[in-house]
């Protein structure tokens, strides 16, 4: 049973909240504040109950060193605007200055610690770093689902020293994803895309036996097509995964799971705007060209399966959607998923960015904030940072 923030006596207490503010910055400002907005229910709940709120997050990959462009000042500024109250960004996340600032906190006030990953102890799950973070607070709330598949000092280590509970975002993510993992309605359709096959072939294997139909695009599809012996010109193929891809296709056949690969693609020499492109059959990609989006025949076939689905998970765009002329497949399929009565889960990362960009996020049943954590969970693997939150 998940223990949630509702079960903690937070009034007047110092609450360390692990949030996920790993957001894109542009010219010193937050370029997309979705992750900040997702954290507001938990922060507001604590503020309304006169807790002293200490927020902790990482940003980017500074590799244990202070990187000026990855300081959290723009995040504190945008969060202040969203909360309608000041959020003071502290100069570090541990040490005497931080301890002094936390000691002076008044009930209902909010501070944001500096980037956790400026300290090598964060990703190394260093016990001393975890202990130093925990010493700032009376209670710990983990609301950073996107890091739940990592065993780091700020999500797992701290929970060894403080009473710990899940925030509202963590709770919502686990509820939605548990429904798909443990009790999906059938037909169950998995849309799998993205450039890198290495991120997805293991996922395909783990979903066998649960999913009825796999609709596969992107680099994953080209690796599987090559595993079938098809020529795909210069399309992205992971040669090291051809054996595993062939095993997946054979096992899917034996288990009666349908695997739908692209029949046609939008091909071009490179994924850049205004480049010459054309729709071709999968084995008709010109030499030196690559498939950059699924073609119209494939789109129609994918849509037919989506229309009959009762559960849909989608991870990875189906083409280079960031270039307008290669966005049609991802956009049209996103519209089909949004229109479907199925319970639909969008698996974070680029797929979440795409449905947001298309204005369709609100029409999906659940858009996960964590691509890696979402897939980890749906594959049936434990999330280390969630273990300490269970009663």
* Residues with active-site annotation: 35, 196, 349, 372
Report d(CA 283, CA 261) in Å as an integer: 12
- Two structure tokens written together for 304: 């037919």
- Two structure tokens written together for 125: 């799950």
What burial letters (b/e) apply to 106-131, b meaning 16+ CB within 10 Å?
eeebbbbbbbbbbbebbbebbeebbb
Q: Is there a contact between 164 and 10 (Cβ–Cβ < 8 Å)?
A: no
Cβ neighbors of 192 (< 8 A, separation 6 or more) are: 200, 203, 204, 214, 215, 216, 217, 218, 220, 314, 315, 316
What burial letters (b/e) apply to 13-44, b meaning 16+ CB within 10 Å?
bbbbbbbbbbbebeeeebeebebbebbebbbb
The residue behind tokens 């906190």 is 105
């Amino acid at each position: 049973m998940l223990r949630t923030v509702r079960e903690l006596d937070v009034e007047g207490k110092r609450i360390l909240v692990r949030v996920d503010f790993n957001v894109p910055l542009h010219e010193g400002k937050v370029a997309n504040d979705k992750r900040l907005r997702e954290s507001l229910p938990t922060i507001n709940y604590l503020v309304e109950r006169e807790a002293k709120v200490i927020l902790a997050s990482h940003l980017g990959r500074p590799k244990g060193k202070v990187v000026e462009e990855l300081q959290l000042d723009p995040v504190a500024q945008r969060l202040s605007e969203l909360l309608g109250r000041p959020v003071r960004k502290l100069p570090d996340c541990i040490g005497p200055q931080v301890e002094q600032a936390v000691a002076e906190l008044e009930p209902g006030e909010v501070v944001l610690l500096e980037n956790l990953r400026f300290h090598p102890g964060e990703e190394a799950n260093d016990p001393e770093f975890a202990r130093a973070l925990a010493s700032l607070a009376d209670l710990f709330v983990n609301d950073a689902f996107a890091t739940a598949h990592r065993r780091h000092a700020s999500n797992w280590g701290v929970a060894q020293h403080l009473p710990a509970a899940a925030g509202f975002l963590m709770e919502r993510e686990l509820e939605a994803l548990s429904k798909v993992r443990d009790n999906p309605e059938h037909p169950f359709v998995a849309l799998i895309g993205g450039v890198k096959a290495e991120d997805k072939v293991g996922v395909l294997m783990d979903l066998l036996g649960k999913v009825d139909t796999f609709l596969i695009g992107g680099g994953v599809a080209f690796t599987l097509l090559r595993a079938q012996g098809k020529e795909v010109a210069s399309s992205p193929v992971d040669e090291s995964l051809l054996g595993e891809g062939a095993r997946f296709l054979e096992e899917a056949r034996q288990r009666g799971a349908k695997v739908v690969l692209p029949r046609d693609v939008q091909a071009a020499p490179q994924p850049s705007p205004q480049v010459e492109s054309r729709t071709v059959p999968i084995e008709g990609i010109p030499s030196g060209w690559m498939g950059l989006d699924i073609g119209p025949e494939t789109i129609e076939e994918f849509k037919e399966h989506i229309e009959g689905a009762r559960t849909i998970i989608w991870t990875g765009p189906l083409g280079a959607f960031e270039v307008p002329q290669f966005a049609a497949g991802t956009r049209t399929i996103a519209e089909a998923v949004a229109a479907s009565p199925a319970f639909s889960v969008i698996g974070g990362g680029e797929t979440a960015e795409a449905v947001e960009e298309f204005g369709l996020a609100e029409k999906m049943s659940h858009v996960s904030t964590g691509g890696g954590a979402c897939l980890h969970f749906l594959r049936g693997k434990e999330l280390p940072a969630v273990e300490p939150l269970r009663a």
